Structures are given as C-alpha cells and as structure tokens.
C-alpha cells in the first residue's frame, strides 16, 4: 500500500487484516466478525464445521437461515432444517426459522453492522455492503473455518468507484442502476475488484435501495460492493431499533481508485436484462409489446418494504391481466407483517397476485416454474438458462415497477406510461419481532444437546491428494461464462440432495451434457476445460465437491470466477489457466492429457501440459499461494485443516 488515502473497503480490510500485504493481487487473511449460511449450502457447511471439532463458534455473530429449500415435497429438506436448527443451538449460532425471510434481507434488517466483515455461504452476501459492511460470498468450507475463528483469505482486489450524480426519475429505480452497471461492465467486469458507490447521487438512495445495488454487484463478478455509512444508514439502523450499531464510514478524499465510472441517475431509463444473462441489457421500451406469461416479484434483490409498498400502490384498485400469473414473495416476516398492518397486502391480493412465503422460491426454481417456453419477468438477479425450472423458459430481469406494468398489461410495458408514481413514505420505525430467531444454548446446556440427523445426510466425500504427475482424459470441454447453475443445477427436484453428494452427482453438468457424470465416474480421474469466467454465479461449493467426487482433478480455463476458484482449491481440484488463451482451441474432448512435475510447476507458477493425443505441449499458469499449494497437496481444505490441527 502507498501512503495515499484509503477507500472504504481498504479501511475495513486494514482493520481486519491478520496477515498478508494489501498490494493488489497479494493474498490477505482477514478476521471475520459475522457469518451467515442458508439451508441449501448450510447443511454441508455445518457438517464441515462439525468435522473440525470446535465446540462453539468464535465469531461475533453467526446466523443460520432457512430460506432456500422451503418446499418440503419429501422428508429431505425438513430433515436438513432440523439438523441445522440443532447444530446451531449446540454450537452458538442464531437460527432464523423458515418463514422468517431471505437471509440477505433479514441480515440487513436485524444483524448487519457498518465497518464489520461478513462472509456468507451465498454469493449475494454483498447485500450487506448497502449498510457499509465488507460482506463477501464464500464456499461453505470457508464459512465453516471462519466460524471456527479461522481467517478468510482473499486476493487483494482492485478498487473501482462509481460516482452517482443527479436523481432517479419516477419509475426508474435502484434495480435499473444495477442493470446499467451490468450493461457498462458485463458479468466479467467486476472480477478482482471491489466496487465502491459514492457521489452526491447516493444521498437519495435508502439502505434497501443501496442493498439492491450491492446485491447485484455479484453479477459483475466483483469481490463485493460497498456504500459509505452515513446519515441514511443511521436512520435505517435507528428505524430497526439498532441505532447503537451505527458508525460513520467514508473513503479518504485522496483515496486512489483503479477505475472510476460516472453515472447520471437522471439520465437512466427503465432497463431489462434479456435471456439468459444478467448483462444482456436493453431498455424496457425497446421490447414494448412482448407477450408475458408470468411475473415474479421478490428475491434478495427486490423484496424490501419499499419495493413491496410501491408494488401494492401500483396494483391498488386494479386487476392483473388474465393471462399473467403474478407471484409476490416479501423478503422477510418484518416486511410481510408491515404490509399486512397497513392494508397494502390486501391491495396486492385483490389484484389477483399469488402470495408466496418469505423465501427465495421461484428465484432458485423452488416452485412457480413458468409454462413451457414461457416468458417470465422477474425482479431477481439471475436469469441463467434452466434456473427457473423450465428448460425453455425466457426469463427477463426487471425492477418491481416494470414487473407490475407487465402484470397489468400482459406484455412488456414501460412503467413510465402507467400512471403517476404514488408517494411512498417509509415508517420511522420498522416493526420489530425477532421471535422467529432462536438463540443458541448457553455453554452448559449445549454440552448435553444432541444434533439431529436424517438419512439423507451422507458423509463428506473422500478427499484425494494431488500427485506430481497427472495423466487423465479431458472429460468435458465447455465454453465461456459457464455458471455454477450449469455445473451443479439447483431447482426443487435437485436441491433436497445438497447433503447427499453421491445422489447429487447424477445431475452434474446436466444442462450441458447429461452423459458427463457417468463418463467421469467411469474414467475415475479426469480434467475439465472451460473458457473465460468459468464458475460465475452461485457460491455453491457443490459445484466443486461433486466434480471432486466424480474424480475431476484439474479444471483448465481462460479465467475463473473468484468464489468458484476458491471452492475448487478447497475441494483439492487444481484451477489452472492457459498462459496463451488460444491454446484452448488445441484441446478436444476425450484427448489424453499429462501434467508432469506438478509440484515444481506450482512453485514456479507454470505447469507444462502435454496433449498425448496430438503430441502438442503448452504452458498453464499455476499461481498458488503456499497455503493453497498445501491445501491441494493435502487433497482439500478439510484434510489440510485437520493436518494443521494435528501439528
């Protein structure tokens, strides 16, 4: 670091740094104040935590949420909920019951604190950046280690700043700001960076609006996004009865940024992300008239009280188009109760909307899948192919205002032509009711508590140490921007098996090639090749644990998304990149490959790959830290952590 001023993120990193230096690209170990898990990644994270043999979490606050797998069409999800509840009680973790809301929304309301570090086993953990937290998505194993008091390692990111000027016009929203930055930067544009939002324009954005923006920063591939903590943050925390959690936080005037982007809020129009990528952006007016079958309002991006009050006001006294199915999932019990108390819920129901529970729901394909080839407009953050549960659905991402306009007219409609925007006043005080958050047991009681496990919970797969020579077949070659939804699909049918890796493995890469699991298993040892931004999207470590179970030993790509690369290392799989990206074209599926002198190569940062089928050789980048090399040699983070404990 220089003697220049600090950005907000650099200040928090400096205050939490355990080791490492803050030069861009270096590895920094951070002390983690808070953790969160959700149920789709939580079961595995707590199984990993239990394996570490630590009695009680060592964080300031750890919370286990149940919000993803809430459709209980068999015993599996209910068993997982019961397991998480019992493990939380025993080990010092707060438990947010099913129905209490989506982890990111509830955490923002009840637990997030400016200036603190938070990691969560969910890629949208950066939602907390709306409150001035350094909040990052991570794999379950990293969260387990942090719960045990261990450091969280990040590669020191570059610092980007987005300067907002002006004010949003009616019907143009924080969601449109998120879509605008995706239009500018693309789904790869934030990789290796933290995005700080500032400028005069942020003064007109409430904390939930800021959280919409930091939430969707995940789709840029950014390490995280963050807003200053200011008077607006203070007012929000006071309204949540948590005024004492406020601290002011801003960047130094002479802070240095690697990139500065200016956005004039008053110049923005309602935007829409077209299938199948969040950066496939056009204006809503350009798609005017497109027939819509389904509209979904909710998700951790757009389910705050403000969002829902706007939706209710726009629906009031109207009935939705008879050919459209509209779902509303409020983000939390707090939001739902307040909607009910002020009568807004009645306006929503009277319009013909279907009320879903306060959970992720359709966002992760947990019900409410669109009809075949259906057009679905969603206020969510991801529209990856197949994610909705309907393989040929066309999913678009929009603001709540644009969503209502489509629900009323039956077609994509610019909301600005609807009516005038009703004035929405936020309450001075939110309704506070934490009865759905169960406190952990005290140490004495905890010692006698039993952890309740179900038959669907299978042991963690066997970790296999890397060897000095890797000879294996190229089992699968894929293109650019492969998401973790491609690698390990979710949805109502598959999600119940998140704690059963052998069962889950049948679905691996199902979107790309249904023969993959069988072929990989038969080979016993294999290599995957991908294009750029491989592993973008969800933080699910299952996208690494399942390939590990199927025998994948290395993944070679043009570039990786941050969390997935870390998850691969944690699973003992080598993430390697082509030194010359054109070498990607020299490899074909079923080629026999050899990587020799792997350990010396890791030390030197380069490994030679020989394609035995064509006879060609070329260089792969293998830049790992000492810790990462030790993890790979041990076969994964769990074995590494156990070994550390033995020493």
Binding site for ligand SF4 (CB under 6 A): 68, 102, 122, 124, 299-300, 360, 363-364, 380-381
Which CB sits closer to ligand SF4, 329 or 577?
A: 329
Partner from ligand SF4, ligand MIC, none contacting 548, C-beta within 5 to 8 A by type: none
- Return the beta strands (E) in 501-585 as ranges: 526-529, 552-557, 574-578
Interface with ligand MIC by CB under 6 A: which range of 448-456, 511-519, 536-544, 583-591? 536-544
231-239 helix and 207-216 helix, angle to the nearest 10 degrees = 110
Partner from ligand MIC, ligand SF4, none contacting 412, C-beta within 5 to 8 A by type: none
Which CB sits closer to ligand SF4, 303 or 557?
A: 303
Asked if 124 interacts with ligand MIC (CB under 6 A), we say yes
Which CB sits closer to ligand MIC, 348 or 490?
A: 490
Give the burial class of 290: count Cβ atoms within 10 A of its Cβ; 0-12 exposed, 13-18 middle, 19 or more buried: middle
Give the burial class of 261: count Cβ atoms within 10 A of its Cβ; 0-12 exposed, 13-18 middle, 19 or more buried: middle
Distances (CA, A) of 646 to 47, 52, 639, 642: 20, 11, 11, 6
Q: Are 308 and 404 in contact (CB under 8 A)?
A: no
Q: How far apart are CA 424 and CA 198, in angstroms?
A: 24
State the CB neighbour count (10 A cutoff) for residue 12: 25
Which CB sits closer to ligand SF4, 96 or 299?
A: 299
Partner from ligand SF4, ligand MIC, none contacting 539, C-beta within 5 to 8 A by type: ligand MIC
Residue 143 main-chain phi, psi, to 5 deg: -70, -40
Residue 160 main-chain phi, psi, to 5 deg: -110, 150
Which CB sits closer to ligand SF4, 28 or 336?
A: 336
Which CB sits closer to ligand SF4, 314 or 363?
A: 363
Site string for ligand MIC, 40-69 (x = CB under 6 A): xx--------------------------x-
Partner from ligand MIC, ligand SF4, none contacting 102, C-beta within 5 to 8 A by type: ligand SF4
Q: Which residues partner with 325 through β-bridges?
A: 294
Partner from ligand MIC, ligand SF4, none contacting 553, C-beta within 5 to 8 A by type: none
Partner from ligand SF4, ligand MIC, none contacting 624, C-beta within 5 to 8 A by type: none
User: At closest approach, how far in Å is the CB of 539 from ligand MIC?
Assistant: 4
Q: Are 22 and 10 in contact (CB under 8 A)?
A: yes
Which CB sits closer to ligand SF4, 335 or 363?
A: 363
Binder among 185, 226, 305, 364 for ligand MIC (CB under 6 A): 364
User: At closest approach, how far in Å is the CB of 325 from ligand SF4?
Assistant: 19
Partner from ligand SF4, ligand MIC, none contacting 299, C-beta within 5 to 8 A by type: ligand SF4
Q: How big is the CA angle at 121 (ends 120 and 126), to the nearest 5 degrees?
A: 45
Which CB sits closer to ligand MIC, 219 or 245?
A: 219
Asked if 379 interacts with ligand MIC (CB under 6 A), we say no
Prior bond of 25 cis (ω within 30°): no
User: At closest approach, how far in Å is the CB of 51 from ligand MIC?
Assistant: 20
Asked if 383 interacts with ligand MIC (CB under 6 A), we say no
User: At closest approach, how far in Å is the CB of 124 from ligand SF4?
Assistant: 5
Asked if 122 interacts with ligand MIC (CB under 6 A), we say yes
Of 225, 210, 283, 200, residue with least CA distance to 9:
225
* Element at 645 (helix H, strand E): helix 637-646
Identify the residue whose tokens are 């025993």: 90
Tokens of 586: 């020299």
Q: How far is CA 122 from the centre of its chain?
A: 4
Mapped onto helix, strand or coil, the DSSP state of residue 414 is coil
Q: Are 69 and 498 in contact (CB under 8 A)?
A: yes
User: At closest approach, how far in Å is the CB of 359 from ligand MIC?
Assistant: 11
Asked if 107 interacts with ligand MIC (CB under 6 A), we say no
State the CB neighbour count (10 A cutoff) for residue 497: 20
Interface with ligand MIC by CB under 6 A: which range of 81-89, 107-115, 531-539, 579-587? 531-539
State the CB neighbour count (10 A cutoff) for residue 17: 16
Give the residues lining the site for ligand MIC (CB under 6 A): 40-41, 68, 122-124, 137, 364, 490, 537-540
């Amino acid at each position: 670091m220089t003697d220049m001023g600090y950005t907000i993120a650099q200040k928090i990193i400096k205050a939490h740094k355990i080791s490492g230096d803050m030069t861009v690209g270096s590895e920094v170990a951070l002390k983690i104040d808070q953790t969160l898990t959700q149920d789709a990644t939580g079961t595995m994270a707590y199984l990993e935590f239990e394996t570490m043999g630590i009695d009680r979490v060592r964080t300031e606050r750890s919370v286990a949420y149940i919000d993803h797998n809430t459709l209980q069409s068999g015993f599996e999800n209910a068993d997982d909920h019961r397991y998480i509840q019992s493990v939380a009680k025993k080990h010092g973790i707060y438990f947010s019951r099913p129905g209490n809301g989506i982890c990111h929304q509830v955490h923002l309301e009840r637990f997030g604190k400016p200036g603190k570090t938070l990691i969560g086993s969910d890629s949208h953990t950066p939602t907390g950046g709306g409150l001035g937290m350094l909040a990052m998505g991570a794999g379950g194993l990293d969260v387990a280690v942090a719960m045990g008091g261990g450091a969280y390692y990040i590669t020191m990111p570059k610092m980007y700043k987005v300067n907002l000027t002006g004010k949003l016009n009616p019907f143009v929203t924080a969601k449109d700001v998120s879509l605008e930055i995706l239009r500018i930067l693309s789904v790869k544009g934030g990789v290796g960076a933290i995005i700080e939002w500032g400028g005069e324009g942020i003064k007109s954005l409430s904390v939930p609006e800021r959280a919409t923006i930091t939430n969707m920063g995940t789709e840029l591939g950014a390490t995280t996004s963050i807003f200053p903590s200011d008077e607006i943050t203070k007012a929000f925390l006071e309204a949540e009865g948590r005024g004492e959690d406020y601290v002011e936080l801003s960047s130094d005037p002479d802070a240095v940024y690697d990139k500065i982007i200016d956005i004039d809020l008053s110049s923005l129009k309602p935007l829409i992300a077209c299938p199948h990528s969040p950066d496939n952006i056009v204006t809503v007016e350009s798609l005017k008239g497109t027939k819509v079958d389904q509209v979904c309002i909710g998700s951790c991006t757009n389910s705050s009280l403000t969002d829902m009050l706007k939706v209710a006001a726009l629906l009031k006294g109207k009935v939705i188009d008879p050919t459209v199915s509209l779902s509303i999932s409020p983000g939390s019990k707090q939001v739902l109760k307040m909607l009910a108390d002020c009568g807004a819920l009645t306006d929503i129901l009277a319009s013909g909307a279907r009320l879903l529970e306060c959970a992720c729901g359709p966002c992760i394909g947990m019900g409410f899948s669109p009809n075949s080839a259906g057009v679905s407009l969603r206020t969510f953050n991801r529209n990856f192919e197949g994610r909705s549960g309907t393989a040929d659905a066309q999913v678009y991402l929009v603001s709540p205002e644009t969503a209502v306009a489509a629900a009323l007219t039956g077609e994509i409609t610019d909301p600005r032509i609807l009516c005038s925007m009703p004035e929405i006043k936020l309450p001075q005080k939110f309704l506070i009711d934490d009865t759905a958050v169960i406190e952990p047991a005290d140490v004495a009681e905890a010692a006698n508590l039993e952890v309740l496990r179900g038959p669907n919970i299978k042991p963690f797969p066997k970790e296999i140490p890397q060897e000095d020579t890797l000879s294996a077949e190229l089992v699968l070659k894929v293109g650019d921007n492969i998401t973790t939804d491609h690698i390990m699909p979710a949805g109502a049918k598959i999600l119940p098996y998140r704690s059963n890796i052998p069962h889950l493995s049948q679905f691996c890469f199902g979107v790309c090639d249904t023969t993959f699991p069988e072929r990989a298993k038969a080979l016993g040892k294999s290599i995957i090749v991908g294009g750029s931004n491989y592993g973008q999207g969800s933080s699910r470590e299952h996208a690494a644990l399942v390939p590990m179970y199927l025998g994948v030993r290395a993944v070679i790509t043009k570039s990786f998304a941050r969390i997935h690369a870390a998850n691969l290392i944690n699973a003992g799989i080598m993430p390697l990149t082509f030194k010359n990206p054109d070498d990607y074209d020299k490899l074909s599926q079923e080629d026999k490959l050899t990587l020799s002198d792997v350990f010396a190569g890791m030390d030197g940062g380069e490994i030679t790959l020989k394609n035995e089928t064509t006879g060609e050789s070329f260089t792969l980048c293998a830049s790992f830290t000492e810790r990462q090399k030790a993890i790979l040699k041990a076969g994964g983070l769990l074995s590494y952590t156990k070994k550390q404990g033995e020493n």
